[in-house]
């Protein structure tokens, strides 16, 4: 199952790699190899992209692909006219990467903590993942982290944002085969989420950035479905959304329980390990009950539950924790996107502590 469907995960490795690569090449950098693969992978991705009108005019383009590309452009126009998202070259080109992920993110957390290991980059600041264009490289880092006592997962990421920071149409974020054929509602969600990253970005505050983008995707996705989707697409989206909500309910409940276990000073580490094992076993049993019951055998979440650990649970907070506050802020601003974005930009410019306190109020 595509990880974005779980949590709206967006990798910012592309913009970080390009900026950091330039710094390393001019002044030297111990991580030059990492930035070189990231910058090279990003450029390789961009080189595969062609403007959507070219794909539509090409007689060799398959009819189903033309239909999805045309749909994506209607969504892109809607993002500008109705959601007031940036009007630029993003998602006006398309590339087939020949694989099922744009990048592969490594996420890690200690054995008895949900606090993610962070990596710091130029431009974007510190984030709780490290991205690779080659899965073998991501797997190798995950294996190394496990030898250091971390729990690690490698997540296949279908899309990422360059924050609109790179100049020219060539560098704009393209549509990719990794997500273009998703259900209509999910395609809209992803595009709106990634475009929202171009509106406001608080350096080093992943939770703020991703929660804001997730709020925009949910609000915008509802509006698209209400105004433009067919009854069939609306039903499909409703079914997927119910499953996502039930998934988040199970996962976030387990996350809260594990947080309480890990921070309980009266428990020994061994007692924490036993309680952790029991809670993860219950999490998997709860999933099995859902799958056998209302999900009618749906297997899309099987791998996530089978491999659930502190890393996969820890990353969830970044993409869900502040969403209710952003949705309330949207309502407070009279459902006016321009006023909403202006307030989010103001918050993004504040120191983190003040930003979080203001948003909470």
Over residues 217-251, the pLDDT tens digits come to 999 999 999 999 999 999 999 999 999 999 999 99
**Residue 4: pLDDT above 70?**
no
**Residue 160: pLDDT above 90?**
no
The residue-averaged pLDDT of 14-21 equals 48
Task: Record the pTM.
Answer: 0.85
Which of 62-66, 154-158, 316-320 is predicted with the least confidence, judged by mean pLDDT? 316-320
**Residue 15: pLDDT above 70?**
no
The pLDDT assigned to 21 comes to: 45
**Residue 315: pLDDT above 90?**
no
Residue pointed to by tokens 């200690």:
110
Distances (CA, A) of 51 to 173, 257, 359: 12, 48, 39
Residue pointed to by tokens 């329980």:
257
The percentage of the chain sitting over the pLDDT mark of 70, rounded to a whole number, equals 91
**Residue 122: pLDDT above 90?**
no
**Residue 279: pLDDT above 70?**
yes
Beta-strand relationship, 93-95 and 175-176? parallel
b/e code 173-185 from CB counts within 10 Å (16+ = b): bbbbbbbbebebb
Q: Predicted confidence band at 261 (pLDDT cuts at 50, 70, 90)? A: very high
**Residue 108: pLDDT above 90?**
yes
Alpha carbon distance 198, 161 (integer Å): 8
Decide: residue 258, CB within 10 A, 0-12 exposed, 13-18 middle, 19+ buried.
Answer: buried
Decide: residue 254, CB within 10 A, 0-12 exposed, 13-18 middle, 19+ buried.
Answer: buried
The pLDDT assigned to 203 comes to: 86
What is the average pLDDT score of the chain?
90
Q: Identify the residue with better confidence: 333 or 168.
A: 333
The residue-averaged pLDDT of 320-348 equals 96
């Amino acid at each position: 199952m595509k990880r974005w469907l779980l949590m709206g995960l967006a990798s910012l490795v592309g913009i970080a790699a390009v900026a950091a690569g330039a710094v390393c090449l001019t002044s030297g950098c111990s991580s030059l190899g990492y930035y070189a693969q990231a910058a090279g992978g990003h450029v390789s991705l961009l080189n595969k992209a062609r403007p959507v009108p070219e794909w539509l005019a090409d007689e060799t383009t398959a009819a189903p692909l033309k239909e999805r590309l045309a749909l994506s452009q209607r969504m892109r126009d809607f993002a500008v006219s109705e959601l007031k998202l940036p009007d630029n070259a993003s998602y006006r080109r398309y590339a087939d990467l020949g694989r099922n992920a744009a990048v592969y993110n490594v996420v890690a957390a200690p054995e008895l903590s949900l606090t993610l290991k962070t990596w710091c980059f130029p431009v974007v600041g510190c984030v709780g993942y490290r991205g690779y264009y080659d899965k073998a490289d991501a797997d190798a880092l995950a294996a190394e982290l496990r030898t250091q006592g971390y729990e690690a997962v490698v997540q296949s990421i279908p899309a990422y944002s360059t924050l609109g920071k790179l100049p020219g149409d060539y560098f704009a974020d393209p549509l990719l085969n990794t997500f273009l054929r998703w259900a209509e509602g999910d395609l809209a969600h992803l595009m709106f989420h990634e475009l929202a990253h171009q509106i406001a970005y608080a350096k080093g505050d992943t939770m703020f950035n991703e929660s804001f983008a997730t709020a925009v995707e949910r609000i915008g996705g509802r509006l698209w479905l209400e105004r433009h989707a067919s009854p069939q697409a609306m039903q499909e989206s409703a079914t997927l959304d119910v499953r996502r909500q039930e998934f988040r309910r199970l996962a976030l409940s387990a996350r809260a329980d594990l947080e309480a276990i890990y921070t309980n000073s009266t428990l020994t580490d061994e007692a924490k390990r036993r309680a952790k094992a029991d809670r993860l076993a219950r999490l998997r049993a709860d999933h099995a009950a859902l799958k056998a019951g209302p999900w009618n055998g749906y297997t899309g979440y099987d791998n996530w539950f089978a491999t659930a650990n502190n890393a996969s649970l820890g990353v969830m907070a970044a993409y869900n924790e502040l969403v209710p506050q952003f949705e309330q802020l949207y309502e407070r601003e009279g459902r006016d996107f321009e006023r909403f974005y202006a307030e989010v930009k103001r918050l993004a410019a504040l120191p983190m502590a003040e930003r979080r306190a203001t948003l909470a109020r």
